[in-house]
Chain A
Amino acid sequence: MTIFIPGQQGDSVQELTVEELRNKIGTGMEIESEDNMLLSMGPQHPSTHGVLRLLVELDGERVVNLAPDIGFLHTGIEKNMEAKTYTKALVMTDRMDYLSPMSNNLGYILAIEKLLGIEAPPRAQAIRTILVELARIGSHLVWLGTHALDLAAMTVFLYCFREREYILDIFEMVSGQRMMVSYFRPGGVWRDVPAEFEPQMRKFLKFMPSRIADYEGLLKKNPIFMKRTKEVGYISGEDAISWGLTGPSLRGSGVDWDIRKVYPYLLYDQLDFDVPVYNEGDVYARYLCRMDEMRESLRIIQQVMDNMPDGPVNSDDRKVVPPPRAELGRSMEAVIHHFKLWTEGFKAPEGFVKVSIESPRGEFMTYLRGDGGPKPARVHFRTPSYVNLAALPTMSKDLYVADLVSIIGSIDIVLGEIDR
Chain B
Amino acid sequence: MPHFAVSAVGVDRPGIVAAVTGILVGQGCNLEDTSMSILRGHFAMMLLIAGPDGTKAEELEAALTATAGDLDLVLTVRAIDDTVPVSLQGETWTVSVYGADRPGIVYEVTKLLADAGANVVDLTTRVIGGADRPLYAMLLDVTLPPGVNGGDVRDRLDGLAGSLGVDCSMHPADADVL
Are A and B associated in one complex? Answer: no
A: which residues have CB within 8 A of B? none
B positions within 8 Å CB-CB of A: none
